[in-house]
Amino acid sequence: MRWTMWTLSALLAVFPLAGCSQGTTTGPDSKEQQETEQQQTMTATAQLQNADGDQVGTATLTEGEDGVEIRLEAKDLKPGKHGFHIHETGTCEAPDFKSAGGHFNPEDKAHGVDNPQGSHVGDLPNLEIGSDGKGELTATAKGATLEEGKNSLLKEGGTALVIHAEPDDMKTDPAGDAGDRVACGVIQEK
């Protein structure tokens, strides 16, 4: 049997392709790598309760590129806007929740995104509650982390999420004149 140059070239072209079609995928888009990255993403939760001990909110916190993303679902609250913050201590003692301390502020700044000396890492947008007593909010706590470090929400002593009775004015130090604390939940690693 005589091999021609064309036949030999065709065979050489087929064999490398056959070796690549074994069903294994490597590189940044492989399914295994994506699953590993998802498992490595840190998450935390908080169950928010009112002064009577009734659960009025559930928050899921996820480590992100710019900070910690917080997804809150709330119920059984007064319609309107409510201040919503991360507080510096992981303790929620009813009825006033003052045990949660002040806003989480590891960078030692003033309160509010509209304050030239602000804002706290724990400052978040207002939560809007509808006429049915329910509301949802997704926000990023910029500069916060669930990993170790001074900006960690899982630091020794913990941190908490707090919902206030009134809206946050986004500028008045130290708490935006948001009024009483009506719900609180300790942030815990999931």
Tokens of 110: 């003033």
User: Does the annotation mark 82 as catalytic?
Assistant: no
User: Does the annotation mark 120 as catalytic?
Assistant: yes
Domains located in the chain, CATH noted: 42-189 (2.60.40.200)
User: Does the annotation mark 96 as catalytic?
Assistant: no
Q: Burial level of 104, CB count in 10 A (0-12/13-18/19+)?
A: buried
User: Does the annotation mark 111 as catalytic?
Assistant: yes
pTM across the whole model: 0.78
Calpha distance 85→113 (Å, rounded): 12
pLDDT digits (tens, 9 = 90+) for 55-77: 999 999 999 988 999 999 999 99
Name the band, by pLDDT with cuts 50, 70 and 90, for residue 33. low
pLDDT digits (tens, 9 = 90+) for 89-103: 999 999 999 999 999
Catalytic residue among 54, 111, 132, 169, which?
111
